[in-house]
Amino acid sequence: MIGGGSGMYPGEVSLSHGGVLFLDEAPEYGSRVLQTLREPLESGRVDMARAGKTWWYPADFQLQMTMNPCPCGNLGREEATCLCTTPEISRYWRHLGGALLDRVDLRVPVPMVKPEDLLEPAGEDSFTVRARVEDSRERQFKRYRESFWNINADIPPGEIQRFIVLDEASSSYLKKAVVQLGLSSRAAHGVLKVARTLADMASRDEVSEKDVLESIQHRRYGDRDIFWRTL
């Protein structure tokens, strides 16, 4: 995954530099393999040592993972019954490791598509969504034009309060969420970055309480919150 071997070859994380590293059925990967992703996700590079020499490869990628909600895959399905126990579900999620999951800011449950839904009118087309994303990226480029980063995801911890300013209501809500959900500093920073991005996607300069609330909702899908049992 991270590379190495006799020739110190780059791994999948470096081959994904500047793009997307997609892991299908993430829990099927070994725990040690998954944990090796933590460092490149944090630093954007991979450092290796062998025979007294050191190598490094760039590894700045966007991580995307898919997985079933439980071992049997039926959790939350109306037309099927999940036979997994709560300990089994928690153990299944813990295989990802809390440290890795803490670095995943967007967790999106995808329910089974019902036959009748296939006949519903289509939502936004890709061109419309792309235009909104491009506008959001342009807003970010302008905001950070004098910085060494270009997008919200790359704001250093020490600069977050400078570029992401919350009103009193939003700040109070975030503080309560940090306590109630046990969010780490990294997770809280992730919430702020996603909230800032949601505001950019809506072409707004100010981050609203609604943005913060939606950002927090995107982090709830995991082993510590079983609200998704009723999806």
> What distance in Å separates the CA atoms of residue 62 and residue 41, rounded to the nearest whole number?
8
In tens, the pLDDT along 3-22 reads 777 777 888 999 999 999 99
Residue 177 burial (CB count, 10 A) = 20
pLDDT at 223: 55
Average pLDDT, the chain: 88
pTM: 0.85
pLDDT band at 209 (very low <50, low <70, confident <90, very high): very high
Residue 111 pLDDT greater than 50, yes or no: yes
Cα of first residue to Cα of last residue in the chain, in angstroms, is 33
pLDDT band at 225 (very low <50, low <70, confident <90, very high): low
> What distance in Å separates the CA atoms of residue 109 and residue 76, rounded to the nearest whole number?
10
Average pLDDT over every residue of 62-82: 89
More confident residue, 115 or 65: 65
What domains does the chain contain, in order, with CATH numbers?
1-67 (no CATH), 126-217 (1.10.8)
> What distance in Å separates the CA atoms of residue 57 and residue 13, rounded to the nearest whole number?
9
Give the C-alpha distances (Å, rounded to integers) separating 189 from 50, 171, 175.
35, 12, 12
Average pLDDT over every residue of 84-90: 88
Average pLDDT over every residue of 33-42: 92
DSSP for the chain reads --EETTTTEE-HHHHTTTSEEEETTGGGS-HHHHHTTHHHHHHSEEEEEETTEEEEEE---EEEE---SSSSS-TT-TTS-----HHHHHHHHHTT-HHHHTT-------PPPPGGGGGSPP-S-HHHHHHHHHHHHHHHHHHTTTSS--SGGG--GGGHHHH--B-HHHHHHHHHHHHHHT--HHHHHHHHHHHHHHHHHTT-SSBPHHHHHHHHHTT--BTTB-GGGG-
pLDDT at 10: 84
In tens, the pLDDT along 161-199 reads 999 999 998 999 999 989 988 889 999 999 999 999 999
pLDDT at 231: 43
pLDDT at 104: 92
